[in-house]
Amino acid sequence: MCDGTEDGARMTIDIRRDHWGVAHVQAPERLAAFEAQGWVAADDRIWQMDSDRLKAQGRWAEIVGHKGAREDAFFRRLGLAEKSKTDWAGLGTEAKEITEAYALGVNRWLGEHKDQLPEEYRYHDLLPASWEAWHCLAVYKIRHIFMGTLHRKLWRGHLLATCGPQIVEAMQGNINDVSMITPTNGLSLDLLSGLPDALAANSNLLEALVDIDGGSNSWAIHGSRTASGKPLLAGDPHRGIEFPNVYHQFHMKCPEFNAIGLAFPGVPGFPHFGHNDEVAWCITHGMADDTDLFVETTDLEKIDWEPVPLSIRDEGQVDVYCGSTERGPVVIGDPADKVALSIAWTGTVGQDTTFDALLPMLQASSCEEIETAVQPWVIPVNNMLTADRHGHISFKIRGRVIERPVANRWTPVVGESANSWTGLQAVPFDQLPGISDPPDGYIVTANNRPSDSAPYISLDFAGSSRYDRISQLIEELSNASLSDMKNIHSDVVSLRAPEIVDAVVKRVSKFTHPLGDWLVRSLTEWNYEVSDSSVEASLYAVIRRRWCESVGERLGVSNPQAGAPGWPSPEAASRMLADGALVLLVENRWTLVPGLETDEDLDQALSSCIDETLTELQLRLGSDTEGWTWGRLHRMVSPHPMASILHAAQHLHPPIDACPGDSDTVRCGSVIPERGERAYAASVARYAFDLADWDNSGWVVPHGVSGVRGTGHDMDQRQLWLDCELLPMAFSDEAVKEIEASYHQL
């Protein structure tokens, strides 16, 4: 890529592609580096970038038809595109410059390849428009809006209206008693305080709604526990496995910085995972309560409703009615329904300054400097770990945290001025949890509760199983090396399984299936490894699902609707039902479930689950129990978002493979109970940064760096990912040249 300068000279940007197609860019100045990042991202992922910005603009149904209309209407009503434009206008000069340079690179690629677009464009009529700088913010927001508490609050609202406060409290479990990243042991913040009153106050309010319906791991190990004497930083983000993959491997070097990492296609820099010459950073989802929903009844007539046309492929146009209250835009419901839900989300309330952090992160030279760099961060709230070449490791919560009344934490609340966010201020950055160089010599984050002290972050943290297991494995290491990081990545021991198995096998005697005794004996003797070859893992998983389904049926919440059909999504609802039903079982709160008043009732219910499990596995996998392995049952589907809807594009789906682990193991392989035992989420990247020798670092993604099927780099990392291996993460000029496969100039 050549660019003009004021004196007419030309700048040249060198791009080397390594054996796996990863681009290593050398640019004469920083804006040229970001221009090159935009060009390379478009070269590898233009359709993915284009589809994400169309979704943000509420135009996905123009490609996939009516199946995209529900979320299109949501994003139109939320005003996501308009808010992205406004937020971009409020960014600092440097953030604007890097997004403009990125957009320039994308548009240069489009200009050079207008006749060489990916195959996806054969299946719809929307050719890619020019990239605008604000599109970078839009695609970033679209990737994070549903990572917050929207669906959880809709679910608990339905549960409260249908079953009452006791069930809501019981299914949440004792969230005060979990492993924490930085415990103070003071319990100054009791997450269950005031709960009965808060839920009772909203119970009647939410009855009106019922009739109208990623996880990740990271860990930092101090040099005092490593073979090199320098820190190691590693982890893996957990998201839905899709094709193209959500992350894009990239390396850019200019006089101001030399940085490598996992980028979002469409977004400059490395917001989540990367390192420069001096410091490395990574994140896990902070699980923050970032969304409030308000039940609007009295103000609906005052809203200035505007019909906005939404185009649906092969079906023409429909009008979506958009309007706002003082609390936020109405996103669920309709003026004719007499009740609707408005929303406040940290990504749309106030100025989003997240992108002001992107360039300073690349320029930081220590843990302390990178924590200073991310002070403008807004979405999402992250657990950020850092390690530097000086030998320090650090943890810090970054992002916009806004404390609201206790009732707002649980469910949608009444739409009144007292519940709005007007006048509320974000928690100051220096009051968010953090720790540096802890005495144990390591820090672990796994979406668990960060602290037992204020400020309030969320109710909805992950359980402690992954956090505790990683901590166990690190405790065993005194001279940790990169190979030890790979072993942690691949671990499939479930620390949650023992209590669930124990709660089942000690309470069953009424099963009638001839293999019932064998099943109980198998689970009793299980080593709790959720491996491909484990038969016990299959038994355990199906029993879990059968129990959760039975609880949902008894409570009458199997198909929740809160505000409108499809909210919460059936997939999200089934996951939250599963979590809550298991809490009821292991914490002995199952007597709250209708029809389970006595031990005999529970025995009968669990025994029925065992009979159903055995019958189901015989039908699905045959009569030979040795063939009932988790690998046969737990298949990883990596859907292409368009191919899932348009039959003609089905061949764009990647192959289906066995996937070990489950949601409670370090090697993640989460399921959606609504869809059986298919793996829907796993590690969308793995990385390990060696601060003693950057070239000794490694990374891998599930498919490849390219999002274009048939290029050779679309699937070339697949087997290594399945084997839990890492590719070399070449950083120095010498290391890049050693694995260089192609070279050209832009």
Q: Residue 13: left (phi > 0), alpha (psi -120 to 50), or beta?
A: beta
3-class DSSP assignment, residue 482: helix
CA-based nearest residue to 144, from 214, 79, 61:
214
Please give the average per-residue pLDDT across 344-351, as a whole number: 96
Which residues share a beta bridge with 24? Answer: 16, 251
| Residue 180 confidence (pLDDT) | 84
Task: Please tell me the chain's helix, strand, coil percentages from 3-state DSSP, rounded to the nearest 5.
Answer: 40, 20, 40
More confident residue, 646 or 685: 685
| Residue 210 confidence (pLDDT) | 56
**pLDDT for 187 beyond 60:** no
CA-based nearest residue to 153, from 406, 408, 349, 473:
408
Token pair, residue 59, equals: 């135009």
CB 55 within 8 A of CB 70: no
Residue carrying the six token digits 């204020």: 454
Reported as half-sphere exposure (CB side, CA atoms, 13 A), residue 361 has a value of: 29
Token pair, residue 460, equals: 């909805």
Which residues share a beta bridge with 4? Answer: 10
**pLDDT for 211 beyond 50:** no
Q: How far is CA 332 from the centre of its chain?
A: 23
Query: Mind listing the pLDDT tens digit for each residue in 418-473?
Result: 899 999 999 999 999 999 999 999 999 999 999 999 999 999 999 999 999 999 99
Instruction: Give the count of beta carbons closer than 10 Å to the beta carbon of residue 222.
Output: 22
Query: Mind listing the pLDDT tens digit for each residue in 667-678?
Result: 999 998 888 899
CB 366 within 8 A of CB 392: yes
Q: Residue 468: left (phi > 0), alpha (psi -120 to 50), or beta?
A: alpha
**pLDDT for 168 beyond 80:** yes
Q: Residue 120: left (phi > 0), alpha (psi -120 to 50), or beta?
A: alpha
Query: Mind listing the pLDDT tens digit for each residue in 509-544?
Result: 999 999 999 999 999 999 999 999 999 999 999 999
- b/e code 536-546 from CB counts within 10 Å (16+ = b): bbbbbbbbbbb
**pLDDT for 17 beyond 90:** yes
**pLDDT for 334 beyond 80:** no
Reported as half-sphere exposure (CB side, CA atoms, 13 A), residue 198 has a value of: 20
Fold exhibited by the domain 497-528+533-633: 1.10.1400
CA distance 16 to 34: 16
Q: Residue 589: left (phi > 0), alpha (psi -120 to 50), or beta?
A: alpha
**pLDDT for 2 beyond 80:** no
More confident residue, 675 or 601: 601
Domain map (residue ranges) of the chain: 497-528+533-633
Query: Mind listing the pLDDT tens digit for each residue in 23-40?
Result: 999 999 999 999 999 999
CA-based nearest residue to 627, from 530, 523, 535:
535
Torsion, Cα 119 122 125 128, to 10 degrees, reads 20
Q: Tell me how far CA of residue 648 lies from CA of 102, 107, 128, 621, 723, in angstroms.
A: 33, 29, 20, 30, 32
CB 65 within 8 A of CB 71: no
| Residue 312 confidence (pLDDT) | 96
Query: Mind listing the pLDDT tens digit for each residue in 92-122?
Result: 999 999 999 999 999 999 999 999 999 999 9
SS3 letters across 200-242: HHHHHHHHHHHCCCCCEEEEEECHHHECCCCCEEEEEEEEECC
CA distance between the termini of the chain? 2
CB 178 within 8 A of CB 461: yes
This prediction's pTM:
0.95
Query: Mind listing the pLDDT tens digit for each residue in 542-594?
Result: 999 999 999 999 999 988 887 778 888 888 899 999 999 999 999 999 999 99
